[in-house]
Structure 1
Amino acid sequence: MKILVTGYSGQLGHDVVREGLKCGFNIHGIGRDEVDITNEEDVYRFVRKVKPDAIIHCAAYTAVDKAEDEKEICQNVNVKGTKYLASSAKEVNAKFIYISTDYVFDGEGETPFVETDTADPICYYGLTKYEGEKIVEQMLEDWFIVRISWVFGINGNNFVKTMLKLAETKTQLNVVGDQVGSPTYTFDLARLLIDMVQSDKYGIYHASNEGFCNWAEFAMEIFKQTNKDVKVNFITTEDYPTRAMRPKNSRMSKQKLIDNGFKPLPKWQDALEHYITELT
């Protein structure tokens, strides 16, 4: 199977390529330097040349706060880029996996969102990712939409690396304690995506590591596992204002994965332990 992976320079794309190569697939990982996904002709030309059996679209504009001020850039990457890739996938009859986000939901309530719940994004980034979802659903037949949350991986910046960096100079930190969700380790997610792309069990899925926590609890576990003596003070979302609104409830049900025979990702605490080992 020949697989094209966008966003190779990012956390998830990097691990998907790594996992795909390990499984013996013909993998083409591309970053911004190879193909500008916001350029329609570039996308068509490249996809026609490679003729992949599947495209795993990990590339995205993910600067959530900057997106409120850089709407055109965010729109070009997350919406137009997805449209061009989906259209070219259709032309070469390739399966398509679109990576989406918990930010398509409004974050209200405390129960986990299921795949069929109504999307109602509360920030511009979330809106563009939802628009990307709709494009994939409308344009293609052989598609997967995989919503993920709180990503951390070896290649790039993330919450874990930020906390460890701050621990070098801080003895206590204020961390938001009223936003609840699930961390997603890209190593674990990449394995799932490679399994998924070999199947024909199309549709929308939620995929993150098992279990829920808030950001403050996540930080506490990071310091516990790395033996850092840092006190974590729980604060509210209102105590830490940001340019973009964040969902307070990012819990997502992963039951559909199990129902369709996919192996759920490990518990987030175990994923973190693996990741810290990988980092060191």
Structure 2
Amino acid sequence: MTEPGHPTAWLVTGARGQLGGDLLAVLAGRPGDPVTALGRAELDLTDERRVREVVRGWLDGVRGARPVVLNAAAYTAVDAAETDEDTALLVNGRAPGWLAEELAGRGRLVHVSTDYVFDGEADQPYPVDAPVAPRSAYGRTKAAGERAVAAAGGDATVVRTAWVYGRHGGNFVRTMAGRALDGAPVSVVDDQVGSPTWAADLAAGLVALGARPEPVPPVLHRTDAGAVSWYGLARAVYEEVGADPALVAPTTTAAFPRPAPRPAWSVLDGSAWLAAGLPAPQPWRTALHLALQGWPAR
């Protein structure tokens, strides 16, 4: 990598996805930095030869800049992964290792992972060194990706996050906001707890991490601050858009069985993120308020 003071050259994978769109918006505020945005059409993460070819070509084209790859691409269909684990493993488990291997000694990788690598049975926030014990195919494949990144060595950080929502793509907050504006009643599980994370906030944090010239920790957690159940989050969304939160009724996970088990506890300990001197996350309710003011609810 080049010396501090040089611009940073960014490659964003998953650039057409929920987080990728916000990463590009943040990077647009760094006009001196060249940005390469790759969606699924430009980079098939199930094709090892193509992944390595693209990254090598990009690295060879970087001149006088610090190369950083932000890997926001993932197989995120949690339930589908239960019957399509092989494909999920390629995207979530193998491809991050290919990226890390190509970047080792040449650039930095910031790889986004998930709370699903844990068993969801804790009652305190998971620290970065908590034992990994996934209970779903999606979680297993993401854990495999973390191991692959670590095995490759080099300058790489795995950033676990949870409950991400934003203006791009479908997500829980957008769905609830649409139901709220329709005045529709909903039943939402109250026995799963996590930290809602605004994609715009997460993107800003990931860019700050990638831009740091000094070494970074191998594993970090980044969510918005605080915790709430899905039921509590749905009520907050209804309130934010001016709907009656009494339209939201609590229910249980058992009442809505899904192919993949959901973690009952998804709260991540972000103290290592703060100790690294990275920007402090804002409270999840503050972020939700700003998000729903800034983008259409439907």
Q: What TM-score, normalized by structure 2, do the two folds share?
A: 0.90
State the aligned residue count.
Answer: 279
Could you tell me whether the CA contact under 8 Å between 2:94 and 2:144 is conserved in 1?
no
Q: Equivalent of 2:233, from 218, 229, 235?
A: 218
Partner of 1:99: 112
Q: Deviation of residue 165 (structure 1)?
A: 2.4
2:20 aligned partner: 13
Cα distance, 1:43 vs structure 2: 1.3
Q: Which residue of 2 aligns with 1:42?
A: 50
- The answer to whether structure 1 residue 172 and structure 2 residue 192 are counterparts is no
**Alpha carbons 2:227, 2:267 under 8 Å: kept:** yes
Give, in whole Å, the separation in 2 of the partners of 1:171 and 1:97. 40
Between stretches 243-252 and 69-78, larger displacement belongs to: 69-78
2:90 aligned residue? 76
Matches within 5 A, 1:107-256: 107-169=120-182, 171-199=184-212, 200-230=215-245, 231-256=247-272
Shift of 1:202: 2.4
TM-score by length of 1: 0.96
Question: Which residue type is aligned with residue 27 of structure 2?
Answer: G
Cα displacement (A) at 1:249: 0.6
Instruction: State the secondary structure of the residue aligned to 1:22.
Output: coil
Aligned-partner Cα distance in 1 for 2:198–2:181: 23
Among 84, 87, 103, the residue aligned to 1:89:
103
8 A contact 2:100–2:154 mirrored in 1: no
Output the CA distance in 1 between the equivalents of 2:278 and 2:201: 12
| 2:280 is the counterpart of 1:264 | yes
Structure 1 residues 41-84: Cα deviation after superposition (integer angstroms, max 9, x where no partner): 21122112211511111100001011101112211211122222
Q: Percent identity?
A: 33
